[in-house]
Structure 1
Amino acid sequence: MYKAIVIGTGPAGLTAAIYLARANLNPLVIEGPEPGGQLTTTTEVENFPGFPEGIMGPELMDNMRKQAERFGAEFKTSWVTKVDLSKRPFKLTVEGVGEIETESLIISTGASAKLLGIENERESIGRGVSTCATCDGFFFRGKKIIVIGGGDSAMEEANFLTRFATEVRVVNRRSELRASKIMQDRARENAKVTWSLNRTPLAVISGDKGVIGLKVKNNETGEEEVIETDGIFVAIGHKPNTDFLGGQITTDDHGYILVKPGTSMTNIEGVFACGDVQDSKYRQAITAAGSGCMAALDCEKFLDGHAVHDWSQSV
């Protein structure tokens, strides 16, 4: 039995753990397959306050974890395969551990960027391939960039990246775009945006210093070509990691957890959500950390007067 369990160890989950631990709630933090979240695949983070020279993503996450451990947070590296949120205490089935119980739960499992699954793509994340323009666009100042995708997010990222790049080429496997007309118009009116439509990406081409090209197939002719580039931004959407919840938590049509406005509270009393798993708009390390703070404070307030276990008898 735990007072509080946090699922996920990105900026949101680790911030929640720090606050819960400092409140003497002795939280258990369950790490998933990617401890530290997406920032562990990022090389340098320059937009997190307090680091004027920047900091490596894995180092930032490691520092947050050490800070949570310093105040008494407990960590387990495993997967939560099933939850029973029908009544308190909540029951969690954890791979390799079994069933554990908790009086409250904070979900910070994040949202995974969808990848194309092409050759050398995953290996090049943080080495010229990115899934976040606002995170990494600055590193491509004066460079040529490719944005892969045809939806609103791809158009938005293409327009944003023209602030830094000399050219942003949109590659889409269809001849038509899925983006709304207004987003398409904005991109087409931008002189820095060029187009390679009806092209299917096949492989990321890397050199000694990172990405140098994208191999594509012309869907009309069947011919293959390599488009030279300094960086590739994959903008085909994100998938929130909520499948394990079994539909017990209210989500939007895309699977993002819905919280009560201005709070981290879900539809189930005692269950809170923070970070990218409930944020489809900003998806930044600093906003995730802020929402993790909110979740911990909401959780602490909830536990005050809602105990289901006599902790005075615990050793």
Structure 2
Amino acid sequence: MQKRHSKLVILGSGPAGYSAAVYAARANLKPTLIAGIQLGGQLTTTTEVDNWPGDSEGLTGPVLMERMQAHAERFGTEIVYDHINEVDLSVRPFVLKGDMEEFTCDALIIATGATAQYLGLESEAKFMGQGVSACATCDGFFYKNQKVMVVGGGNTAVEEALYLSNIAEHVTLVHRRDSLRSEKILQDHLFAKEKEGKISILWGFVAQRFERQSAPN
């Protein structure tokens, strides 16, 4: 397999990866950005981004990531659609092995970002994709007019609950503490939905096991 060499390789196509690409490209480093499995990163699963400076009306995560990609490409960043499985940092230049190609580089920026945080329950893994999901924007349509439960108290959990409240029959947010960690504005939206009867909140509860309810006769 022939190796492709770059002065700089950036792993990850989320906000950090594209930001690094813009600066590197403007410095004439001719960066290669390897997108990874999820093009655009975790932000592509966010429906509304209201804290991005310059967009007073708000925008969606996928749209924002498309803009970032275009910005990086405008200055000459090469986008490669591959996933790196192995990196050897013991040699120079560094060696990266992907699904489709091998790469070498003089410098490497790792911006692989965040992934969904799971509860770690055995039953969670058992029912993943069969009623259990880590992405409301990806799978929310499948829960249309159904009763849905969201576990967590941070920004992601509250955003998912708000998104699902426009699709599901009812959303129950389960949080182990007596207060939320999410931003205040998200909490305001959540409590407004609670008053409307679209969302219920269970405080001080911890999910321990998921079970499949038998279909009614």
**TM-score, length basis structure 1:** 0.48
Mark the CA change 1:159 to 1:29 in structure 2 (over 3 Å): closer, same or farther: closer
1:77 pairs with one of 77, 81, 86: 81
Do 1:10 and 1:110's aligned partners in 2 also have CA atoms closer than 8 Å? yes
Query: What is the match of residue 96 of structure 1?
Result: 100
Per the alignment, residue 134 of structure 1 pairs with: 155
What RMSD over aligned residues (CA atoms) do the two structures have, in Å?
A: 3.7
Alignment correspondent of 1:157: 181
For residue 66 of structure 1, what is the aligned residue in structure 2? 70
Tell me the distance in 2 between the aligned counterparts of 1:8 and 1:90. Answer: 17
SS of the residue aligned with 2:79?
strand
Give per-residue Cα distances to partners, 1:198-236, cap 9 Å, x unaligned: 66345xxxxxxxxxxxxx87xxxxx99xxxxxxxxxxxx
The 3 A distance-change label for structure 1 pair 39 and 197 is closer
Of 4, 27, 31, the match for 2:31: 27
Matched, 1:169 2:180: no
Question: Take 1:87 and 1:32, find their aligned partners in 2: how far apart are those partners?
Answer: 23
2:59 maps to 1:55? yes
How many residues end up aligned between the 2 structures?
Answer: 180
User: Sequence identity of aligned pairs in percent?
Assistant: 35
Which 5+ residue runs of structure 1 have no aligned equivalent?
171-192, 203-215, 218-222, 225-315
CA shift, 1:43, in A, is: 1.4
| SS of alignment partner, residue 155 of structure 2 | helix
Structure possessing the higher relative contact order (Cα contacts under 8 Å, 6 or more residues apart): 1
Change (3 A) 1:85 1:149: farther
CA distance in 1, matches of 2:107, 2:53: 30
- Say which structure is richer in strand: 1
Paired residue for 2:17, among 3, 10, 13? 13
Pair 1:155–1:85, CA change in 2 (3 A):
farther
Whichever residue aligns with residue 99 of structure 2, its letter is E
Partner letter of residue 134 of structure 1? N
Cα distance in 2 for residues equivalent to 1:103 and 1:137: 42
Q: 1:125 to 1:86 in 2, by over 3 A?
A: same
